[in-house]
Amino acid sequence: MSKTGGGRGPDQPRQRGASAKPLPKTTQAAASLPAHQSPGGSLTGGRPPRGPRPYAKGGLMVWPAVEPSWEDFSNDLADIEPGPVERARWRFRRKLAKQVFHDAALEGNSFTEPEVFSLLSGQPVAGRNIAELNQVLDLKEAATYVLDVTKDGPLPISQGLTDAIHERAARHDLQPSLLFRGDYHNQRTGPQVRLDLADRFQAPNAGEARALFEYGKAGISRVSHPVAMACLWAAYATYSQFYFDGNKRTARHTMNALLISRGFDSILVPNKLKSDYENVLVAAFKTADLTTQARFLAGQYQVQADTH
């Protein structure tokens, strides 16, 4: 998956065929979300929203962003309990180089695992693209920040946290990528995410980013189990495309910061599951249902917990 860019100018009008459920225009409704959403959550307070209706444009099929929905699957994770925060931080520190390798591989980076280990230990790696090298170092910086910021206990979902992680994870991307799209007013229309050769996802416009963030924060923060909460936030942030690029990286690191700060182990998506991971991402973009992607991430937590 890749970006195809967004247009400049005023907010894009709704395309023909788009869902009848528009994205939120203000943050006021976030405060009125019910304290308990059953069976899951959505910006409609638990009512199942209509799925996105794709439209044809320039020989492509485009899925416009609509109100995403999710199920709270906390009850399925009742057996997963936290440990001491320092233990979770120690375990993340121990596998940091492996985490960086797999995160980079998910982005299409061709560095091998031994090369990543060598680079992170200060040894030169010859014959490699400077952009790929910088991406590996950026991911290391983001992971190191996660270690630093989790030492003082549970972190709330906040734009400050995601901005700080994104600034590090995408430091060498194009400059506009470093900005939360709601803060960048020269480019209003949301970028398109390439799903496959003929399909695109039309991300929300910049003017909707703040409302989307507040809606998601209010609803997902109420999810009772921290693993489900963190995984749902990763899925929600990826769908909402709060930044011009680096959203998946930022979402996964934020997920791990939320987990570690509560005494839970971090989640690593192994490169061997890249195809499966991309399939659940595409499904989320096309259906606006975040549950499958969040469950996929939580499944990796359970697999990795069993191997420790």
* Burial of residue 306, with CB atoms counted within 10 A of its CB: 0-12 exposed, 13-18 middle, 19 or more buried: exposed
Mean pLDDT, rounded, of the chain: 83
pLDDT band, very low/low/confident/very high, at 286 (cuts 50, 70, 90): very high
Q: What is the pLDDT of residue 308?
A: 53
Identify the band that residue 191 occupies on the pLDDT scale cut at 50, 70 and 90.
confident
Give percent helix, percent strand, percent coil of the chain, each to the nearest 5. Answer: 50, 10, 40
Domains by residue range for the chain, with CATH: 80-307 (1.10.3290.10)
Angle at which helices 130-149 and 247-260 cross, to 10°: 30
Q: Which pLDDT band, with edges at 50, 70 and 90, does 184 fall under?
A: low
Q: For position 104, what pLDDT does the model report?
A: 96
Residue-wise pLDDT tens digits, 39-85: 345 443 444 445 677 778 877 888 888 899 999 999 999 999 999 99
Question: How many other C-beta atoms are found inside a 10 Å radius of the C-beta of residue 107?
Answer: 17
Stronger pLDDT, 23 or 150, i.e. the higher one: 150
Q: Which tokens is 49 given?
A: 């929203």
Would you place residue 138 in the very low, low, confident or very high pLDDT band (cuts 50, 70, 90)? very high
Contacts of 202 (CB under 8 A, 6+ apart): 12, 15, 62, 63, 64, 65, 190, 192
pTM of this structure? 0.84
Q: How far apart are CA 34 and CA 282, in angstroms?
A: 29
Cis preceding linkage at 39, omega within 30: yes
4 band by pLDDT with thresholds 50, 70 and 90? low
Check residue 25 and give its pLDDT.
44
State the pLDDT at residue 175.
Answer: 58
H or E stretch including 224? Answer: none
